Amino acid sequence: MKVTLPLFPLNTVLFPGGVLPLRIFEPRYLDMVSQCLRTDCGIGVVLIQQGQEVGKAAETYNVGTLCKIRYWNRRPDGMLGVTLEGEQRFSILSRQINKNQSIEAEVELLPEIIGGSLPDSQQYLARILDNILSQLEPPYSTMQKHLGDEEWVASRLIELLPLDMEVKQRLLSVDNASQKLVEVAAVLKQQPED
């Protein structure tokens, strides 16, 4: 299915089912959020390949995540606080840069990845994730946990672990939950023990 989305280029990778709290201050993104709140449309979160989050429109990778605004508030510092929730991956077909340097893109929504039950041999990954989530503040600490689902566990670990952004981006493009789990487990085994 093809849809047109405003893109939000960021220095982060978000997966379906994940949450992303943001502080919005740039006029182009304030306008985008305002429009999305009025029309209940989605926002495409994409990782920056070259450029920055502010100023001139950044070049992005071609796979991102369609998100909905789940919460918003005016912050005491005058910025707008929003929490995005990832819904579905997409691939960018074409993009247009507007005069205000905002980006709109025609995207193809990618099929949902259905994860199986987390294998017994990888239950330790769910325990690691549960420990990480318990140390975080909302929205992470209040999110509904699906610790028995391999796709959910893999996606949350990829989002939260300090992996290289290019690795996270590559794993966003992987269509197999078991493969993602194997790669996350391999990364964890490479980490030095405290």
Going residue by residue through the chain, which has 194 residues, state the pLDDT in tens, using 9 for 90 and above: 899 999 999 999 999 999 999 988 888 888 888 888 888 889 999 999 999 888 888 999 999 999 999 988 888 887 788 999 999 999 999 999 999 999 999 999 999 998 899 999 999 999 999 999 999 998 888 888 999 999 999 999 999 999 999 999 999 999 999 999 999 999 888 865 55
Burial of 2 (0-12, 13-18, 19+ CB in 10 A): exposed
The beta-strand segments (E) located in the chain are: 2-10, 19-24, 43-50, 59-60, 63-74, 80-97, 103-109
For residue 188 the two structure tokens come to 């964890």
The answer to whether 2-109 and 120-190 have equal CATH topology is no
- The predicted pLDDT at position 77 comes to 81
159 within 8 A of 15, measured Cβ to Cβ: yes
Specify the CATH class of 2-109 in words: mainly beta
Distances (CA, A) of 183 to 24, 125, 131, 170: 33, 12, 20, 11
* CATH T-level fold of 120-190: LON domain-like fold (1.10.4060)
Domain ranges of the chain: 2-109, 120-190
Give residue-wise pLDDT tens across range 67-97. 999 988 888 887 788 999 999 999 999 999 9
For residue 33 the two structure tokens come to 């959020």
Give residue-wise pLDDT tens across range 138-153. 888 888 899 999 999 9
pTM score of the predicted model: 0.91
